[in-house]
């Protein structure tokens, strides 16, 4: 069973049909919507500020979701995939976004809807990423517009696949 812990009186809350891997950790002021999944060794740590997660969000293996005390909460929209070993910290991720494997999104950054942040990219503090674009590199820069075909093959496909994968692990 996942480690679910109350911190400073705040207990994590989960929507319907969420999969929490046995060695995932969710603690503190965390609210998660329906059909979400938190995978093996992933950490969602709402000990120092709030974390709000929409519906159909997958937080893949060894990813970390955190925030900054009294300065930066974390908000994640609907249909978002947080790739393996990614770090999402004190920022806002809107709907239909893919944060690639090993990417980092830092405090007060805003990733607008229908974006893809490539594997290994670093989105610096206070960055605002434009909708319908691909961002890559260190620091993350706009590489190109995200075509409807790329959106369907990456952002949509991965979000749907993780809902199916979760059903295999429950």
**Nearest partner of 96 among 11, 156, 21, 144, judged by Cα:** 156
- Compute the residue count for the chain: 170
Collapsing DSSP states into helix, strand and coil, what is residue 43?
strand
Chain Cα centroid distance, residue 95: 10
Mean pLDDT split into 10-residue runs, the chain, 170 residues: 96 98 98 98 98 98 97 98 98 98 98 98 98 98 94 92 94
Question: Distance (Å, rounded) from C-alpha 96 to C-alpha 156?
Answer: 7
CATH number, domain containing residue 24: 2.160.10.10
Q: What is the pLDDT of residue 1?
A: 86
Domains in the chain, number: 1
Of 33, 8, 11, 37, give the one whose Cα is nearest residue 22. 37
Which residue is listed with tokens 């434009």? Answer: 130
Regarding pTM above 0.95, the answer is: yes
Neighbours of 98 (CB within 10 A): 29
Containing structural domain, residue 95: 3-169
């Amino acid at each position: 069973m996942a480690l679910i812990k109350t911190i400073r009186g705040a207990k994590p809350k989960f929507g319907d049909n969420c999969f929490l891997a046995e060695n995932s950790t969710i603690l503190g002021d965390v609210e998660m919507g329906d059909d979400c999944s938190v995978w093996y060794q992933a950490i969602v740590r709402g000990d120092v500020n709030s974390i709000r997660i929409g519906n159909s969000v997958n937080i893949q293996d060894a990813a970390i979701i955190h925030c900054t005390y009294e300065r930066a909460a974390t908000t994640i929209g609907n249909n978002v995939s947080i790739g393996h070993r990614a770090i999402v910290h004190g920022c806002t991720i809107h709907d239909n976004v893919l944060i690639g494997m090993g990417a980092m999104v830092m405090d007060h950054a805003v990733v607008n809807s229908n974006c893809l942040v490539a594997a290994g990219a670093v989105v610096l503090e206070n960055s605002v990423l434009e909708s319908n674009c691909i961002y890559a590199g260190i620091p993350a820069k706009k590489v190109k517009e995200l075509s409807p075909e790329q959106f369907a093959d990456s952002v949509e496909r991965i979000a749907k696949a993780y809902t199916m994968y979760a059903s295999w692990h429950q």
